[in-house]
Amino acid sequence: MSIGGFFWVASVIREFGNLPWAISILGLQIFSIFGQPQFFIFAPLSILLLGSLGNSKLTPFKQTFLISLFFAFLYTGLDWILPKLFMDTLGHCLYLAKYLRQSADLGGAPLLTFVIFFVNFSLFLSLKKRSKPQWQLIGAASCFLALFWLYGLARYQSIQKLMSSPTQTLQAAAIQGNIGDFEKVAAERGVRAAATQIINVFTQMSDEALRLIPQPQVIIWPETSYPSTFRHPQSALEITLNQRVEQYVRTAQVPLIFGGYDQLGKKDYNAMFILSPEGYLQAYHKNILLMFGEYIPGAETFSFIRNAFPQVGNFARGEGVNTLEVPIASPSRGVIKTVPIICYEALFPSYVIAAARQGSQLIINITNDSWFGKWGEPQLHLALTSFRSIETRLPMLRSTNTGISALIQPDGEITHPTSIDRKEILNVSIPINQPIPTLMTLWGDWFGPFSLGVTLCAVIAIVRFRWKNLRLNLTTVS
């Protein structure tokens, strides 16, 4: 499973560690051990429990049905509680299933994992004895799947109706400049020339965007598109860059959302900024950092770790969940309350939900996937990210350096995806509605812990039942 979904980890290890392919592939194998830890616990538990659960006075149908439910809860609970770097689960594979994915607004991707596992495990138990398939269980699993499909159909239609008549629309342009690695450009042209080239590319493409019909009311540049700390210049070059961006926004008379770096005291932050034509600046600092990409565990305590991997970032964590107000350029003045999400943070349902609860109407996600190559990670990252829109029923505009930029609708539909490694302007009309209540926004990421709780209760009940029978048998024998 890890090789199928995370084969790109080997190329990342080779690129950033400057290691030979043999060691990089070994690194992928080591990652695979820790990347899907649920299998190593579920497999022996299933073998141990499957035999003990089979001894009961229930009918074959009731027995196998309850066994399927138990193991579906067991797998889902383990999959939720065990740590994963990318928060992936089986349910994410339904991101293209137009109706089934809608159930994610009830229990997130873990609920879809439960559905997948229950249906497949029911079929497995039904067909295990090929001479006599359990048609009742096959029928029950089919009905179970049909219920989720019907819910998804009804929910999809209701969301489509809201999207067709939004309370307002926001015309926004995401600029994909196809510049993902500042260090590489700097090595080729020098730091000054590289920084100037990056700002030139983004301002020129923004000018092109402003000539489009309809004209965007806000411009978005992706993560780290501003190659320095904004409004904290420490050199003549940084002063020049700062002035250029400030002057551009004043002249264009359009708000600019962009990724860059911020500095408070001695701490550096990966940041998202919103700059208005009047010069008003809002800043959001990334809170959930990517291990071995933006920080190294133990590097703050042991300097030799930091010195061994100078290519890895050393960012501080932001203050936590926050919302920003995006000012809208003419003709419709006003502000839109927005969830700011930077790259890796989009994989965490609870984090986005906490911000959505503050009355947000839109998710802005800026990302830099250029570190991970063209194949595998960009597609996977986009698929995982799309579930945040389903869970909160908020549209998301995703702006990336090298692709894939896209508009994700509240029904999870990924629209207007850009190509990878190409300069593109994504000019889209975003439907804005009042927040749509969902079970996920009310209860949070609840289905994973619920599954674990059901499993533990079931195990306790089984143990007590077995112990009671054992004592009864011992008393009878005595």
318 in the same domain as 201: yes
Phi, psi of 360 (to 5 degrees): -70, 150
Residues of the chain with pLDDT under 70: 51-56, 129-131, 181-190, 292, 295, 297-313, 330-332, 465-478
Q: Which long-range contacts (CB under 8 A, 24 or more apart) does 415-422 make?
A: 417/382, 418/176, 420/374, 420/378, 421/178, 421/374, 422/176, 422/178
Q: Which long-range contacts (CB under 8 A, 24 or more apart) does 373-379 make?
A: 373/8, 373/11, 373/12, 373/15, 374/420, 374/421, 375/8, 376/5, 376/6, 376/7, 376/8, 377/8, 377/12, 378/402, 378/403, 378/404, 378/420, 379/404
Q: In Å, what is the CA distance from 76 to each residue of 3, 36, 42, 455?
A: 21, 13, 10, 10
CA-to-CA distance for 111 and 94, rounded, in angstroms? 11
Report which DSSP code applies to 419. Answer: P
The whole-model pTM stands at: 0.91
Domain of residue 101, residue span: 36-162+446-477
150 in the same domain as 19: no
Residue 246: how many CB atoms within 10 A of its CB?
Answer: 17
320 in the same domain as 424: yes
208 in the same domain as 115: no
Region of residue 19 (phi > 0: left; psi between -120 and 50: alpha; otherwise: beta):
beta
**Residues near 310 by Cβ (< 8 Å), separated by ≥ 6?**
none
58 in the same domain as 17: no
For residue 300, the model assigns a pLDDT of: 63
Question: Is residue 348 a contact partner of residue 56, using CB atoms and an 8 Å limit?
Answer: no
CA-to-CA distance for 195 and 28, rounded, in angstroms? 34
For residue 444, the model assigns a pLDDT of: 95
- For residue range 368-405, what is the model confidence (pLDDT) as tens digits? 998 887 888 999 999 999 999 999 999 999 999 999 99
Count of structural domains within the chain: 3
23 in the same domain as 47: no
CA-to-CA distance for 313 and 342, rounded, in angstroms? 15
147 in the same domain as 103: yes
400 in the same domain as 320: yes
463 in the same domain as 435: no
User: In terms of residues, how long is the chain?
Assistant: 478
389 in the same domain as 344: yes
Q: Which residue stretches of 92-231 are H helix?
A: 104-127, 135-164, 182-189, 191-210
430 in the same domain as 461: no
Q: In Å, what is the CA distance from 211 to each residue of 176, 204, 278, 408, 425?
A: 16, 11, 21, 24, 11
Residue 92: how many CB atoms within 10 A of its CB?
Answer: 22
Question: Is residue 285 a contact partner of residue 270, using CB atoms and an 8 Å limit?
Answer: yes
397 in the same domain as 266: yes
